[in-house]
């Protein structure tokens, strides 16, 4: 993106929001609801796959208008159009940002560096379909001519979290024809645990790494290859058991993957936005190619909505602007993602990478230090479990943590008596966070239970829930591939919009490099059993203690 012209804080639209936040500081969310019985209608959107209720935010119509004015002032829509047109908006890496092209069935040319990417995308999708059908249909045979029963996906970060999250989220839709396992950790326990349950004759490895140099992935891939060799495999049969997804074909071939088994990735797809590419192969292997196409179609629907819907009805814009409001004008430094669906248990981790690796930056496009906060801490857990763990802090802690609650009208399972109980909690929690309960209400409640006044006064303040804690609710019709595709794309575009407003380069990730470089230097020290004197005293002594005691 271009040189920053002025800090965002100098914009009149930014300053108007700051002043406006002051005027709202004494207003409680419950007052906003009590004053206006149209509030839900004003602050919710019904989209094809879900209802988005954002009325439990500390906003008024004036707030929303001012947020739209900020979006206009920083030309979010112009930047969005540049992204979709394939402009190289990832300036620090000189790359286009085109994960949206991976799910766009259009054949209108989209030329990047002299190449129309549309046919390439379609070609790789065709190859994926072919592989998926052959493996799932039993035509792809292992070295002893048996059909494949298990797929092990080896990758980390963006080459793991997306496929893993989607596989889990859509597990109710899997037909069980293939078991898919994920290995990401360089801690050998994960791959050891996975391999001990498998038979090399019927196992297919998918090594996913955009760079094909990532230490964790390469270490696990080598271990997988050795296991394959130790269990009846051979050089000549590796091609029946190893697939690679990478933009570094040379390295994948050098590792020993047959060129015909390498699926392409492009530099215009960031790792954390890559599940729509062949990085999504394990999803398609698990669910079938049609389900993968549904996932793409759902995301494409959201892309079109993002491009076409006016600001006031544009879900990604609204979600992003509310996040900016909470972060920069109300001062909240964390944001929780709370799915009320067991199968979405990896969704917070996936979004944590997507948001924090994208917008966890502290210099603007011109390389100047930001004078305002960028990405908040994104964290979360399956909501119902969280209720019995950290919700105490969400309700009564000193920090206010806005949260997105995600649940479905239709359950993915048929267990009687479970879903309404789950969803009752879902609705109760956002109501409690919004409304709270004040001292008089607590007193009245305790009195009605017969408690004496002295006892009541001793505990009343401890039972007060201040409320006024913002939440968004995303109520899905049902969690299927299309809906999940749309939901992920919703958050991807939220990240994009926030990056523009914060004026950070959302599509690089230089902040992960330093640790990797230092780790590469420490490996030989651990092998030699002695630390390099160049380390600080803490690191040096920790390494030596480790070496002396291992």
Residue count of the chain, please give it.
550
158 binds ligand F6P, rule: CB under 6 A: yes
- In angstroms, rounded to a whole number, what is the distance separating the alpha carbons of residues 207 and 225? 11
Which range in 127-135, 207-215, 287-295, 361-369 contacts ligand F6P by CB under 6 A? 207-215
Q: Choose between 261 and 509: whose C-beta lies nearer to ligand F6P.
A: 509
Q: Which of 8, 52, 86, 157 binds ligand F6P (CB under 6 A)?
A: 157
C-alpha angle with apex 297: 291 to 301, nearest 5 degrees? 145
**Which of 63, 194, 203, 209 is close enough to bind ligand F6P by CB under 6 A?**
209
Separation CA 255–CA 243 (nearest Å):
11
Q: Using DSSP bridges, classify how beta strands 50-53 and 471-478 pair: parallel, antiparallel or unpaired.
A: antiparallel
Q: Give Rg (Cα) of the chain.
A: 25
Supply the minimum distance, in Å, between the C-beta of residue 538 and ligand F6P.
24
Mark whether 516 is an active-site residue: yes
Interatomic CA distance for residues 226 and 238, integer angstroms: 11
**Residue 196 appears among annotated catalytic residues:** no
Cα–chain center distance at 188: 25
- Asked if residue 453 lies in contact with residue 31, where contact means CB atoms within 8 angstroms, the answer is no
Residues whose CB is less than 8 angstroms from the CB of residue 101 and which lie 6 or more positions away in sequence, other chains included = 86, 110, 117, 118, 121, 268
With a CB cutoff of 8 Å and minimum separation 6, the contacts of 475 are 50, 51, 53, 407, 408, 409
Among 44, 185, 211, 342, binds ligand F6P (CB under 6 A): 211
CB of 100 to ligand F6P, least distance (A): 18
Among the listed ranges 31-39, 181-189, 210-218, 419-427, the one in contact with ligand F6P (CB under 6 A) is 210-218
Q: Which of 90, 214, 343, 408 binds ligand F6P (CB under 6 A)?
A: 214
Where in 261-280 is the site for ligand F6P (CB under 6 A)? Answer: 271-272
- Output the six-digit token pair for 396: 């009564």
Build a one-symbol-per-residue string for 74-113: x at contacts with ligand F6P by CB under 6 A, - elsewhere. ----------------------------------------
Distance of closest approach, residue 97 Cβ to ligand F6P, in angstroms: 14
What are the backbone angles phi and psi of residue 532, rounded to the nearest 5°? -75, 135
Which of 216/294 has CB closer to ligand F6P? Answer: 216
Give the per-residue contact string, 504-533, with ligand F6P (x = CB under 6 A; - = no).
-----x--x---------------------
Indicate left, alpha or beta for 442 from its phi (over 0: left) and psi (-120 to 50: alpha): alpha
Q: Are strands 203-208 and 242-246 parallel, antiparallel or unpaired?
A: parallel
**Helix axes 481-502 and 76-84, enclosed angle (nearest 10):** 120
The position carrying tokens 């919703």 is 490
Decide: residue 451, CB within 10 A, 0-12 exposed, 13-18 middle, 19+ buried. Answer: middle
| Residue at token pair 């990401």 | 184
Respond yes or no: is residue 210 known to be catalytic. no
| Closer CB to ligand F6P, 248 or 396, in the complex | 248
Distance in Å, CB of 245 to ligand F6P, minimum: 9
Instruction: Give dist(CA 376, CA 48) in Å, integer.
Output: 29
Considering the candidates 357, 361, 419, 493, report the single residue annotated as catalytic. 357
Which entry of 388, 449, 462, 550 is annotated as an active-site residue?
Answer: 388
Task: Give the nearest distance from C-beta 274 to ligand F6P in angstroms.
Answer: 7
Contact window for ligand F6P (CB under 6 A) among 123-131, 153-161, 360-368, 391-399: 153-161
| Nearer residue to ligand F6P within complex by CB, 157 or 470 | 157
Q: What is the torsion angle, in degrees rounded to the nearest 10, for the CA atoms of residue 493, residue 496, residue 497 and residue 499? A: 160
The only residue of 8, 20, 66, 210 in contact with ligand F6P, by rule CB under 6 A: 210
Residue 388 near residue 456, CB atoms below 8 Å: no
Structure tokens at 258: 């047959």
Which of 63, 90, 159, 277 is close enough to bind ligand F6P by CB under 6 A? Answer: 159
All residues at 6 or more sequence positions from 538 whose CB lies less than 8 Å from its CB, including other chains: none
- The answer to whether 505 and 367 have CB atoms below 8 angstroms apart is no
Q: Which stretch binds ligand F6P (CB under 6 A): 53-61, 209-217, 303-311, 322-330?
A: 209-217
In the bound state with ligand F6P, the residue whose beta carbon lies nearer, of 209 and 352, is 209
CA separation for the pair 331, 143 (Å, rounded): 59
Determine if 360 is a binding residue for ligand F6P (CB under 6 A).
no
Query: Of the two residues 382 and 495, which places its CB atom closer to ligand F6P in the complex?
Result: 495
> Which residue lies nearer to ligand F6P by CB, 515 or 533?
515
Question: Is there a contact between 241 and 200 (Cβ–Cβ < 8 Å)?
Answer: yes
305 is an interface residue for ligand F6P by CB under 6 A: no
User: Which of 156, 166, 195, 497 contacts ligand F6P by CB under 6 A?
Assistant: 156
- Judged by CB under 6 A, the number of residues near ligand F6P is 14
Which range, of 52-60, 156-164, 298-306, 519-527, touches ligand F6P by CB under 6 A?
156-164
Question: Do residues 35 and 27 make contact, with C-beta atoms less than 8 angstroms apart?
Answer: no
Report which DSSP code applies to 95. Answer: B
Given a contact cutoff of 8 angstroms between Cβ atoms, the answer to whether 382 and 345 are in contact is: yes
Q: Tell me which residues touch ligand F6P (CB under 6 A).
A: 156-159, 209-211, 214, 217, 271-272, 357, 509, 512
Active site residues: 357, 388, 516
């Amino acid at each position: 993106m271009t040189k920053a012209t002025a800090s965002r804080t100098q914009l009149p639209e930014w300053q108007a929001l700051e002043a406006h936040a002051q005027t709202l500081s004494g207003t409680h969310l419950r007052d906003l609801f009590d004053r206006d019985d149209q509030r839900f209608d004003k602050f919710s959107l019904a989209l094809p796959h879900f209802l988005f209720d954002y009325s439990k935010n500390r906003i008024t119509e004036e707030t929303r208008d001012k947020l739209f004015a900020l979006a206009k002032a920083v030309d979010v829509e112009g930047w969005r159009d540049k992204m979709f047109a394939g402009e190289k908006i990832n300036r620090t890496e000189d790359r286009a940002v085109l994960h949206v092209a991976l799910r766009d069935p259009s054949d209108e040319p989209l030329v990047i560096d002299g190449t129309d990417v549309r046919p390439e995308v379609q070609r790789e999708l065709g190859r994926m379909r072919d592989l998926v059908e052959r493996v799932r249909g039993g035509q792809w045979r292992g070295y002893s001519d048996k059909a494949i029963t298990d797929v092990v996906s080896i990758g980390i970060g963006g080459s793991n979290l997306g496929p893993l999250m989607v596989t889990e989220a859509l597990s109710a839709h899997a037909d069980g024809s293939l078991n898919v396992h994920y290995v990401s950790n360089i801690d050998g326990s994960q791959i050891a645990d996975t391999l001990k349950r498998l038979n090399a004759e019927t196992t297919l490895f998918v090594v996913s790494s955009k760079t094909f140099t990532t230490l964790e992935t390469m270490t696990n891939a080598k271990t997988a290859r050795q296991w394959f060799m130790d269990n009846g495999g051979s050089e000549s049969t590796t091609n029946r058991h190893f697939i690679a997804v990478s933009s570094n074909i040379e390295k994948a071939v050098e590792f020993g993957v047959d060129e015909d088994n390498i699926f392409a990735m492009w530099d215009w797809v960031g790792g954390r936005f890559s599940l729509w590419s062949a990085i999504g192969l394990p999803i398609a292997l698990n669910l079938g190619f049609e389900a993968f196409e549904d996932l793409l179609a759902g995301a494409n629907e959201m892309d079109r909505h993002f491009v076409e819907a006016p600001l006031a009805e544009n879900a990604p814009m609204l979600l992003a602007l509310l996040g900016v409001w909470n972060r920069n004008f109300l001062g909240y430094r964390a944001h929780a993602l709370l799915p009320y669906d067991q199968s979405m248990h990896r969704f917070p981790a996936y979004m944590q990478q997507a948001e924090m690796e994208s917008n966890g930056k502290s210099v603007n496009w011109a390389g100047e230090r930001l004078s305002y906060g960028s990405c908040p801490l994104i964290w979360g857990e399956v909501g119902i479990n969280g209720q019995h763990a950290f919700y105490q802090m969400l309700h009564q802690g000193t920090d206010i943590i806005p949260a997105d609650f995600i649940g479905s009208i239709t359950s993915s399972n048929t267990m009687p008596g479970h879903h309404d109980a789950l969803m009752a909690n879902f609705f109760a929690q956002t109501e409690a966070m919004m409304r709270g309960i004040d001292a008089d209400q607590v007193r009245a409640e305790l009195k009605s239970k017969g408690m004496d006044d002295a006892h009541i006064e001793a505990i009343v303040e401890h039972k007060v829930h201040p409320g006024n804690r913002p939440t968004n609710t995303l109520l899905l019709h049902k969690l299927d591939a299309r809906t999940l595709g749309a939901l992920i794309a919703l958050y991807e575009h939220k990240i994009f919009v926030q990056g523009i407003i914060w004026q950070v380069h959302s599509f690089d990730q230089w902040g992960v490099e330093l640790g990797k470089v230092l780790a590469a230097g420490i490996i030989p020290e651990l092998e030699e059993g002695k630390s390099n004197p160049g380390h600080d005293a803490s690191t040096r002594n920790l390494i030596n203690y480790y070496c002396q005691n291992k």
